[in-house]
Amino acid sequence: MIKLHNIHKSYHVGKESLHVLKGIDLHIKEGELVSIMGSSGSGKSTLLNLVGLLDNYDEGTYHLDGNLMKNLTENQAAYYRNRFLGFVFQSFNLISFKNAQENVALPLYYQGVKREERNAIALEYLDKVGLKPWAEHMPNELSGGQKQRVAIARALASKPKLILADEPTGALDTTTSYEVMELLKEIHHEGMTVVIVTHEHDIAEMTQKVIHLTDGIIEKITEH
């Protein structure tokens, strides 16, 4: 599903340049539940953002489902993002003036799905994450855990091949974090490929495979 070979990435700010990813080789197979673990600043988000086609890399190759992802135009990147990828973020990134159901339906709007069908599919996914009764609630009426469930339902609604989650439990208390992880595990059991970025050992331990990132290099990979 994902094949990275010798990936390098630097950021340039003024005259300064910061070498963040220093030769990443990584394979993630279809159906895997993987975490990328490392301390703050180790390059986790940088890595996930390039896998998610939200940013470019400087050197190496990245194949997504057999397609080379290099020098894509913004349109091409958007095409692959919409077809292949679902995103979940630490800060949920819900639209504050849209209710839960409308938030989940949004990616379907961009896929050209008609309103009635969009709403029906959104409700189905809200049901899946246990939030059907909350469909008409606005994000500010939901707890952190509920917001993240809405975000997960939204990621699933576009039927991606892969879910990318950057610190999905980062803004949640311990109990709620485990609940969100259980939901992601359930989704994985149904066949989804899930990649989770975290700096927390306990969260990473809940995945099959942990990729340890240290200072832009994969230090080791452990499997459970």
- For residue 86, the partner it binds in Mg ion, ligand ADP, none, with Cβ less than 5 to 8 A by kind, is none
Q: Is 216 left (phi over 0), alpha (psi -120 to 50) or beta?
A: left
Q: Which lies closer to ligand ADP via its Cβ, residue 11 or residue 79? A: 11
Contact between 139 and 150 under an 8 Å Cβ cutoff? The reply is: yes
Q: Is 79 in the site for ligand ADP (CB under 6 A)?
A: no
Contact between 188 and 160 under an 8 Å Cβ cutoff? The reply is: no
- Number of H helices and E strands in the chain, helices first, is 7, 10
- For residue 38, the partner it binds in Mg ion, ligand ADP, none, with Cβ less than 5 to 8 A by kind, is ligand ADP
| Alpha helix positions (H), 18-114 | 44-51, 74-84, 100-110
Q: Is 109 in the site for ligand ADP (CB under 6 A)?
A: no
Contact between 7 and 36 under an 8 Å Cβ cutoff? The reply is: no
Site string for ligand ADP, 10-29 (x = CB under 6 A): -x-x----x-x---------
Binding site for Mg ion (CB under 5 A): 44-45
Q: Which lies closer to ligand ADP via its Cβ, residue 31 or residue 170? A: 170
Q: Is 34 left (phi over 0), alpha (psi -120 to 50) or beta?
A: beta
CA–CA gap between residue 7 and residue 158 (Å, rounded): 28
Question: Between residue 30 and residue 49, which ones bind ligand ADP under the rule CB under 6 A?
Answer: 38, 40-46
CA–CA gap between residue 150 and residue 103 (Å, rounded): 8
- For residue 133, the partner it binds in Mg ion, ligand ADP, none, with Cβ less than 5 to 8 A by kind, is none
The least distance separating ligand ADP from the CB of residue 38, rounded to whole angstroms, comes to 5
The least distance separating Mg ion from the CB of residue 213, rounded to whole angstroms, comes to 10
Q: Is 221 in the site for ligand ADP (CB under 6 A)?
A: no
Q: Which residues bind ligand ADP (CB under 6 A)?
A: 11, 13, 18, 20, 38, 40-46
